[in-house]
Chains A and B, each alone.
Chain A
Amino acid sequence: MLELRDVSKTVSGERHISDVSLALEAGSLNVLLGPTLAGKTSLMRLMAGLDQPTAGTVHMDGADVTGVPVQRRSVAMVYQQFINYPSMTVYENIASPLRVAGTERATLDRKVREAAEMLRLTPYLDRQPLELSGGQQQRTALARAIVKNARLVLLDEPLANLDYKLREELRAELPRIFAESGAIFVYATTEPSEALLLGGKTATLSEGRVTQFGPTIEVFRNPADLLTARTFSDPPLNTIEVEKKQSRFLLDGVGGLPVPPALSDLRDAVYTLGFRPHHLSLEPRGQGAIALDARVTVTEITGSESFVHLDYAGNPWVMLEEGVHRASGGEKLTVYLDTRHLLVFDASGRSAATHRARAA
């Protein structure tokens, strides 16, 4: 198990990482999710021992490894940019960590071929990396990380430079490949959909802090605060600020939305309501759907789905509907909010009612 205990990192007066505590289990897949500059790479460098924390400690299987440099830890890293030795063949690239470790020839050969097979590189073993496509180059880097048999494998947006379809395939294979190795697997990404496809556990990051850590689907469904909900939504989270007065959520003191029965014991105060684009629809879904009159700004159609961008009382929202819906800009549209999935955040941004709404 890898543990970070109250880890902070300050670089020339600037806080890169603030009070991060995380415990990552052996054989687990852990996603670090957050936008650019949220601290994903900084955190990984601390985990690897490439950087030392300004405060706090790092523990591996109970032992304090805070000052131990990366060379003396069992770590493999794969970066967004494909890094291989350009003058070596794919075979030699994959074999390199084994050669360094002085692995005996027959074992080395077997391990290289196994890893190559797993990553579908067998036909390219005799080629040099620059003769390969980007996807093959990155698979070579991944194969090298696998044969190293490290206890900690850090993948920093490893698929970001690859084709969409190739990413889809590798994303499906990676968890299986690394699960077999029993390593602690850490995967950084900016994309919520990638976190969901990978599964495992997710830590959401924002401005150097971990805002939540838990099973990926749990963090997605029950974000502990507004920041986490925003970080973990693509298309972006729809929000609206309301004031609860008895049975209504008021907007600017008037009108607004009825309070769903499941939220009736919420105390009267100012809240931010949040919900994801697929919980708005053209037809009411589920018990207690609320009708809202919005104005269309623009529609994007993918052929299978439509992203209808809306303006509701000055709030920019997106509705994600199945099928093709040609709503044009300026058009008035009645949409329905599925209140079963409504997220409610108090004035400080903490979740006020997600679980209760779900239980109903």
Chain B
Amino acid sequence: MARLTLKDIRHSYTPNPASDADYALKRVDHVFEDGGAYALLGPSGCGKTTLLNIISGILRPSEGEIHFDTLDVTDLPTEARNIAQVFQFPVVYDTMTVYDNLAFPLRNRRVPEDVVDRRVREILAMTGLEERAKRRAKGLTADDKQKISLGRGLARPDVNAILFDEPLTVIDPHMKWTLRTQLKELHRRFGRTMVYVTHDQTEALTFADTVVVMYEGEIVQIGTPEELFEHPRHTFVGYFIGSPGMNLLPAEFDGATVRVGGRPVALPGTPQRPSGERIELGIRPEFVRLGREGMPVSITKVEDIGRRKIVHASLEGETIAAIVKEDMEIPAEPHVVFDPAHLNLYADSWRVELEDRP
């Protein structure tokens, strides 16, 4: 296992990048600690796969260095980096049995056959592939093949890191739960450095201890799932994490409070008056309380999604979403209250610290 250090990495797919816009990765300076479980989360085109390919050696960065512990691997090819990789689409040897597919990376490294057998059996049990162990991979379903890919990625205990690129996209929802918890359990038991690229917030948040959120070639926030949910540093994080994302309402300063469409909203602390032009109040739908008191809203749509309802409403001409429990009756004259402890303030999209916040 190793600590992965990215030093001032920049990458451009064009030969002579002139401006920031020419860079797929604008600047990444980050350390993935030894034994950590990390997720790189962001929409397509945000640079997360570029970053992963730089770690794995598929791409050489235009600028900067990458170190595994103290070794500079910037110019080393993938084979020399001693990493395991799992891709979005299954990579299996069709003519080999499931068992031999899983044993392949170990036999390649001349691991004694009794150790191979023990390890392969563990992985077969974990992925639920025991019954198919002796079958050839050809003819298996896409998700069974992907389980083989995942299993192979986990087979070798001595790798520097395991890199996952959207590994569960082709897996059925029920199997996702099983594989995800097993990955997490495995990480807890063996403490390997894992970097997991995904655009799926649930996967990223449940898998990783630390989530790196990327947007337009830059890291916009690094934090625990809780931090990303409670205090998004950038409005993009507020929007991208959570479903629906954070409500953002244009606001104006008025002393210790802000006004939304003329209505004062008390803040949980005193904002330093930011220099930004555009002030927005951020409140997650989970913390918008719907009831008979507070600010009047008109409801435009109620989506019953089973375990909860998403209420879409209009507040002072702005659209907002609120999440309510499945059994809740929607009041006839609806009002909303914002849970003050969960208000965030943004100036030009970046979060403003509030002083004396409890």
Are the CB atoms of A322 and B141 closer together than 8 Å?
no
Contacting pair B173 A191 (CB below 8 A) = yes
List residues of chain A with CB within 8 A of the CB of B307: 276, 278, 320
Instruction: Across the interface, name the chain A residue whose C-beta is closest to B286.
Output: A304
- Inter-chain CA distance A164–B201, complex, in Å, is 8
Please tell me if the beta carbons of B225 and A190 are within 8 angstroms of each other in the complex.
no
Asked if B304 and A307 make an inter-chain contact with CB atoms under 8 angstroms apart, the answer reads: no
**A304 adjacent to B229 (CB under 8 Å):** yes
Residue of B nearest to A191 (CB): B173
The verdict on A235 contacting chain B, using a C-beta distance below 8 Å, is: yes
Query: Residue-by-residue, is B295-315 near A (CB-CB < 8 Å gives 1, otherwise 0)?
Result: 000000001111100000000
Q: What residues of B have a CB within 8 angstroms of the CB of A318 in the complex? A: 177
CA distance A191 to B173 in the complex (A): 6
**Cα distance A278–B306 when bound, in Å?**
10
Contact with B along A218-238 (1 / 0, CB 8 A): 001100000000000011100
**A37–B141 CB distance below 8 A:** yes
The interface centre, meaning the residue of A160, A197, A302, A324 with most chain B CB atoms within 10 A of its CB, is A302
A303 B181 Cβ-Cβ under 8 A: no
Within 8 A of A (CB), among B219-251: 224-230, 239-245
Chain B window 37-52, contacts with chain A (Cβ cutoff 8 Å), 1 for yes, 0 for no:
0000001110000000
Q: Give a binary string over B144-180; 1 marks a CB under 8 Å from any A CB, 0 the rest.
A: 0000000000000000000000000100111001001
The answer to whether the Cβ of A20 comes within 8 Å of any Cβ in the partner chain is: no
B82 within 8 A of A: no
Q: Distance in Å from the Cβ of A222 to the closest Cβ of chain B? A: 12
A134 CB contact (under 8 Å) in B44, B141, B142, B177: B44
How far apart sit A133 and B42, CA to CA, in the bound complex (Å)?
Answer: 14
- Chain A residues within an 8 Å CB radius of B43: 163, 165-166
Measured in the bound complex, the distance between the Cα atoms of B323 and A304 in whole Å is 12
Report if A270 contacts B (CB, 8 A).
Answer: no
Q: Is B270 an interface residue (CB 8 A)?
A: no
Least CB distance, A219 to chain B, in whole angstroms: 10
A303 contacts B180, CB within 8 Å?
no
Question: In the bound complex, do residue A322 and residue B172 qualify as a contact, i.e. CB atoms below 8 Å apart?
Answer: no
Known A134-B44, A303-B225; contact A35-B174, beta-carbon cutoff 8 A: yes
A302 touches B141 (CB 8 A): no
Encoded as 1 (CB less than 8 Å from any B CB) or 0, chain A from 186 to 208 comes to 00001111001101000000000
Range of interface residues on A (Cβ < 8 Å): 35 or more
**A236 CA to B230 CA, complexed, in Å:** 27
Is the pair B143, A217 in contact by a Cβ cutoff of 8 Å? Answer: no
Find chain B residues with CB under 8 A from A286 CB: 327
Q: Judge whether A168 is part of the interface by a CB distance below 8 angstroms.
A: yes
Could you tell me the distance between the alpha carbons of A161 and B244 in the complex, rounded to whole angstroms?
20
Q: Give the Cβ gap from A114 to chain B, nearest Cβ, in Å.
A: 23
Known: A196-B306, A199-B303, A298-B185. A36 touches B229 (CB 8 A): no
User: Is A234 within 8 A of B286, CB to CB?
Assistant: no
Which of chain B's residues have a CB closer than 8 A to the CB of A302? Answer: 201-202, 205-206, 225, 229
Contact partners of B228 in chain A: CB under 8 A: 303
Q: Which residues of B contact A199 (CB under 8 A)?
A: 303-304
Given that A168-B243, A302-B205, A303-B241 are known contacts, is A133 also in contact with B286, CB under 8 Å in the complex? no
Task: Closest B residue to A233 by CB, please name it.
Answer: B174
Could you say which of A197, A220, A301, A324 contacts B206, with CB atoms under 8 Å apart?
A301
In order of increasing CB-CB distance, the 5 nearest A-B pairs are A303-B229, A303-B225, A300-B206, A302-B205, A196-B305
- Can you offer 17 A-B residue contacts whose CB atoms are under 8 A? A35-B174, A36-B143, A133-B44, A163-B43, A164-B199, A168-B243, A191-B173, A220-B306, A234-B173, A236-B174, A278-B307, A298-B185, A300-B180, A303-B230, A303-B241, A309-B181, A324-B226
Given contacts A302-B206, A303-B241, 7 further A-B contacts (CB under 8 A): A191-B173, A197-B303, A217-B306, A300-B181, A302-B205, A303-B230, A309-B181
Interface residues, chain A, with chain B CB atoms under 8 Å away: 35-37, 133-135, 160-161, 163-166, 168, 190-193, 196-197, 199, 217, 220-221, 234-236, 276, 278, 286, 297-298, 300-304, 307, 309, 318, 320, 322, 324, 329
